[in-house]
Amino acid sequence: MIRAEKIREKLRREKLRWSKLYTFSCSRANPELIDSVDPLIGLQCPSFSRKVHCNQPSLHCRKHLHYPSNYISTTKYNIITFLPKAIFEQFRRVANLYFLLAAILSLTPIAPFSAVNMIAPLTFVVGLSMAKEAMEDWRRFTQDMKINKRKVCAHKEDGNFRYKKWHRILVGDVVKVEKDQFFPADLLLLSSSYEDGICYVETMNLDGETNLKVKRALDVTLPFDNENSFKDFCATIRCEDPNPSLYTFVGNLEYEKQVYSLDPNQILLRDSKLRNTSYIFGVAVFTGHDSKVLQNSTESPSKRSSIEKKMDYIIYIHFTLLVLISLISSIGFAVYTKFGIPNWWYLQPEKASTLYNPSMPTLSGIFHLVTALILYGYLIPVSLYVSIEVVKVLQAMFINQDIQMYDEETGKPAQARTSNLNEELGQVDIILSDKTGTLTCNQMDFLKCSIAGVSYGVGSSEVEMAAAKHIASEISGSPSWNCFPADYWDNNEDDSSIIELEGGITRKIEKDPIPKIKGFSFKDDRLLQGNWVQEPNDGAIIMFFRVLSVCHTAIPEHDEETGNFTYEAESPDEGAFLVAAREFGFEFYRRTQSSVFIRESYPNPSEREFKILNLMEFNSERKRMSVIVQDETGQIILLCKGADSIIFDRLSKNGKMYEADTMKHLNEFGEAGLRSLALAYKVLDESEYSTWNKEFLRAKAVIGPDRDAQLEHVADMMEQELILIGATAVEDKLQKGVPHCIDKLAQAGLKIWVLTGDKMETAINIGYSCSLLRQGMKQISISIMNTDFIELDARKAFLSCLMFEQTIKDNISLQITNASQMIKLEKDPHAAFALIIDGKALSYALEDDMKHHFLGLAVDCASVICCRVSPKQKALVTRLVKEGTGKTTLAIGDGANDVGMIQEADIGVGISGVEGMQAVMASDFSIAQFHWLERLLVVHGHWCYKRIAQMVCYFFYKNIAFGLTLFYFEAYTGFSGQSVYDDWYTILFNIILTSLPVILLGVFEQDVSSEVCLQFPALYQQGPNNLFFNWSRIIAWTANGLYSSLVLFFINISIFYDQAFQSEGRTADMATMGTTMFTCIIWAVNLQIALTMSHLTWIQHLFVWVSIGTWYVFLSCYGLMSPFISGNAFHILIESLGPAPTYWLTTFFMAVACNIPYFVQLSYQRLFHPLDHHVIQEMKYFKKDITDECMWTRESSKARQETKIGFTARVDAKIRQLKGKLQKKVSSLGVIP
C-alpha cells in the first residue's frame, strides 16, 4: 500500500494528461453538452429505457426498476430444476424409457420376472447417472462462487468505501477498482488516478486483444477523484437496454441539471482488467447477466456424443426386433391356446385363467405380448448405460491424472469436466480456436533487423532451423527425407547443422537457448556492445534506434529489484522494440506530459530529451504510427513506423535509397515466419510544421462524426515524403508447442479455424507464426468495401440506408462467389487457399441467404481466420460449421469472449490460464496449455472413441447372442413364456458374469501406445471416418450375435434332446440343458472379448478368467443352497453337470464354434486388408522401431494426412525454395547433379 501511494503521488506530481497525446478515438475536444440535439439518433438497440441512479442503488427498488443482481451462474441445474431436468436427460435415452415401462408392467401378474428384477437395475442406472451429473454441476457451481465472492471496494455512505463481494454489487453502486483488478460489472468511468481521467484497459477476456485500450471520463466527473468526494454525489444515467454489442454504447449523464452524452469511451466492461492506472472510480450500469460479456454467453447446453445418438437408432432397431418377435410369440401363443391347450390334459384347460383361456385366445395373445416384451428385454441392454457411465468416469479419471498434461508452472492438470463426451474427442473434424491466450503467450522477441540496406541478426527462427536441418541431411548423404523424423521438435540430439545455402555462404544453424532477456533474442556482434559505431552507416543506425526508443506510447516502470526499466506498452511489439533499444544503448527511462527522455550510451554517453509535439497513433485502418518530436537542438523530426506497404507508398524520391534491399530483407523475414515493420523519418522546418499544426489543431477541435476522417486527412498530409531507414523483425512467441501441436493436428486430418477479436493484420501475423498461413498460400480477404461515401450520404438521407446496406451485402456475396470460382478454376493440385474475413463482413456472411455459400467457400480453404469478431459471432460461426457440415466441432479458448463458442461446439475446451476461469467453467474439458490439445485428441480421443465403439458393439453382440436363445426356446416349447434359464442366471449375466471384461475393454484397451499415436497421427482419422461404429460394423456384430445364438441353441438342443446325458442313461431336463447352454454363452462371450482386445495384459487375463470362474463358483454355491432357494439348480453342478463328459465337451465345442467366424475374419483382414493399426502392431511386435529405425521413421512420416497447413507444410515449401537456389547454383557451376 505504501508503494502504491508513492506511485500515486508521483503520477499526481507529474500531472500527466495523456489525452493530449492521443489523436483519434480516445480524446475529445470538449465535453459534449446536449441542448436541442437528440443524443439518441442512430441508436441501434431495441429500446432505450434504462435509468440508473448513481450512488443511490436502493432508489431503484422504490421506483420499481427491477435490475438483476451481480450474481452469475453457469450451471446446468439448480436445487429446483435438478430433479425434473436430470430425469428428463436420463429418459431422453430410449432404452431407459423402455425399461421404465417394463418396470411398471413387472408389477402385474403377466410379468415373467419379479418386479425387483426390473426396478432395481433401472433405479441403479438412472441414479448413478444423475449422481454423476450432480457432481459435475457442483464443480461448476463452486467455480461460479469463486467469481461471485471476489471483492471490490464500494461506496457505502458518507464517503466511506468498504470491500464488497462481487455478487452484492447493485446497479448504481460506485466502486473503486485498483490496478490489475477486473471490473466487477459494466461501469461508467467517473475518474482515474490520472488528472484528466484517462485509464488503460486490457480487454483480452472480451475480444482477445492484448493491446491496451484507452478510456477517458467526462470532464464533468473528473473532480470525483477521491473517496470523500462521493459523499454527496448524485447523478442519473439514461442509456440503452442490455445488449451483446461490445463496441457500442449510447446514453447520457444528467448531472446538476445538465445533460452530457456518453459513448463507449466511458464504459468499462466486466471481465476486462485495469492496467497501468493506479485506480479508477466508476458506477455500475449493467450487472450480472445484463452485462455485455454475459449477454454474449448462451445457456449451458446438454451435449450428447454422436455414438450415444447413434445408439438410440440402434436401440430403435432392436426395439423393432423385440416387438416383431414378441408379436410372433403372441400370435403363436394365441394359436396354441386355441388349438393346442384343449388337447393338453395335463395343463387342466378346464381351470384356465385369463392368461391362457382357449375360449378367448385373442385376449390371451395380447397378455402374452406384454409377457414377451418383458421376457425378450435382454435384446435392449439396460446395463449398457451403466457400464458406459462407469467406463466414462474411469476414462475421465485417466485424463485428469495424465502426467503428460500437467502444467508444473501453474500446478493445473487436464480436467474432464464432463465425461459424457470422451469418445467425441476421437471424432473431431474441425477445430475453432481463439487466438490470444490460446495460441499466443503475448510475448514478442526482437530477432532481426534491416538498417540502411544491411541485414543484421544471425539468430534463426524455428522455420529456418527445421528447413536447414533437412537440407543438411540430404547434402551430407544421410538418410533421405522419409527417414528423417517428421517431428522436428523432439529427440533431436544434434542441435546444429552446417549447410551451404547460397552464394557460397556456409551457415551454422543452431537451436537458440532460451533468451535471458525477455523480448530480446537478437544475436549479431556488429550491433551489440556499441560495435555499431564502427559501421559505415552509423548515422542511419542512430536514427533507427531513436525511432524505436521514441515512437511509442509506453510507460516506463523502474524495477527496484533488478535496477532495469520495464515497459507497459499498448502492444507487445512496442515492448519488444523498447527492450531492443535499451539493449542497443538507447534506454527510454522517463516520460512527462510533453517529453520523453532517452539515455544514450553510445557513441558518447548522454541523456536526451525529445519534446512530443504531436502523436498520431496506430490503428487497423492507418497501419502506421507517427510522432513529431523536437530534439535539444530545436530540430523538428517526424518518426514513423508501420506496415511496409504503407510506408513504401509514402517515401520521397530521395528516401528510396534502401528500398530494394529492405524489400528483399522483408521477404526473407516473412519466409522465416517473422513479423516486420518498416521505419522511416522526415525532417521538418518550423514554417512547414507550424502551417500543418494549425490544420491539425483545427481538425482536432471538430465535434461530430467527421472528426476522425478530418484528422486522418491532415495526418496523411504530413506522413508523406518520408526517408526509409530500415525494418524490424520480431518473432511472435506462441505458447509452448503450438506450432508442433497445429502441425500434428493437421497431419491427423483436422482443420483449424481461428476466430479472434484481434485486428486483421495481427491475426494474419499470428497465422504465419503458427503456420496456418505461409508464403505461397493464396489469401482470400473478404471485407466491406470502402464505405466512407456511403456513411456521408446516409447522414444526409436516412431512407437511403437500406439501399446502401443492400449494396454492401451484394458486394460481400460477389466476393464470396468470385473466391469460390477461383478455387474451382485452380488447376494446381498443391495450391492452398486461406480465407480471411473481418467481423463486419462476417455479419453479412452469416445471414440466412448467404451463410451456406460462405460455409462452402470456407470448407474449400485450407485455413480460415475470422478477425474482429464478437463473442456472439464466434458462437454463430461455430453453430454454422456444426450444423452446416454435420461434422464434429471442437472450440477452444481461454476468455469470457469464448464462452458462447465453447458452449455451441460439440466439444468445448477451456484453457485454464491466468486471465480468469470463465472459459473453463463453460467447457467440457480444460487444459493448461494449447499444445496439450494434441495429446487430448490424438491419444485420449483416439483411445476413448475406439474403446466405447467396440464396447457398445460387443454389448449388443452378447445380448443378442443371449436374448435370442430365450426366443428360440419359447418357440420350441409352444410359445409358453417359459424361460430356459433360472432367474438368477439372467440377473447375474450382465451385472457380474460379463461386466468386468467389458469395462476393462472400455478403460484399458489400446490398439497402439500413446507414443505410437503421436508418431502416426493419421491413425486419428479412424474416428472422424467412424471406422469402428459405422453401420457395416454394427450389422457385422449383430450378425455375429445372431450366428452365436443359433449355434448355442440348436446344437445344444440336438445334443441333449433324445440321448442319454449321464452314465446311468438319464436324459437332460430343462434345468440341465439351460445351465449347460448358459455355461456355453459365458465361455463364448468372454472368449470373444479376449479376441477383441488388442492390449492383453495380466489384468485383462485375470478378469476374463475370473468372470468365467465366477460362474462356476456361483453355480456351486447356488446349488448348495436349500431347494426352496435354488429350485431345480440344487446340486446341479456337483451331481449332474460335473460328472458328465458331455457337459464339458459341449462347453468347449460351443466356445470354439461361436468364435471361429470372428477369428477367420480377423485373420483374413490382417493378412489381405490390414488396417493401419494392424500394420503398426506387427511392426511393434517384430521390434522394427528398434531394429530398423529407418523403416519405422519412413512409415511414420507417411502416416499423416496430406495437409497444406502446419509446420511440416511450411518446411516443405522452404525446402523447395532452398533446393531451387541450390539447383541454380549447381547449374551455374556446370555440374550435373
- The three-point CA angle 479-482-488 to 5° equals 90
Burial of 1059 (0-12, 13-18, 19+ CB in 10 A): exposed
Can you tell me which residue has the cell 474427442?
Answer: 425
For residues 477 and 469, what is the distance between their CA atoms, to the nearest angstrom? Answer: 12
Contact 209, 203 (CB under 8 A): yes
Burial of 1046 (0-12, 13-18, 19+ CB in 10 A): middle
Question: How far apart are the two ends of the chain, measured CA to CA in Å?
Answer: 73
Read off the C-alpha cell for 816: 464470396
For residues 959 and 1200, what is the distance between their CA atoms, to the nearest angstrom? Answer: 38
Q: Which of 434, 743, 906, 1212 is catalytic?
A: 434
Burial of 421 (0-12, 13-18, 19+ CB in 10 A): buried
Question: For residue 436, what are the β-bridge partners?
Answer: 440
Contact 678, 647 (CB under 8 A): yes
Orientation of helix 1098-1120 relative to helix 995-1004, angle to 10°: 170
- Looking at the chain, the number of H-run helices and the number of E-run strands are 41, 35
The secondary structure of 697-764, three-state, reads: HHHHCCCCCCHHHHHHHHHHHHCCCEEEEEEEEEEEEECCCHHHHHHHHHHCCCEEEEECCCCHHHHH
Read off the C-alpha cell for 594: 510533453
Read off the C-alpha cell for 595: 517529453
- In one-letter notation, the amino acid at residue 971 is A
For 1135, which DSSP code? Answer: I
1062: left (phi over 0), alpha (psi -120 to 50) or beta: beta
Contact 1146, 1077 (CB under 8 A): no
Q: Supply φ then ψ for residue 1156, to 5 degrees.
A: -60, -45
Give the ranges where 52-112 is alpha helix by DSSP (H). 59-62, 82-90, 94-105
Contact 618, 642 (CB under 8 A): yes
- Known catalytic membership, residue 312: no
Read off the C-alpha cell for 131: 449422481
For residues 641 and 356, what is the distance between their CA atoms, to the nearest angstrom? Answer: 96
Give 1010's contacts (C-beta < 8 A, 6+ positions apart).
404, 935, 939
- The three-point CA angle 354-1126-968 to 5° equals 55
Contact 775, 452 (CB under 8 A): no
SS3 (DSSP) at 2: helix
Read off the C-alpha cell for 790: 456511403
Read off the C-alpha cell for 1177: 502392431
Cα–Cα distances (Å) from 1148 to 166, 787, 1073, 1115, in that order, read 70, 82, 15, 18
For 421, which DSSP code? Answer: T
Catalytically active residues are 434
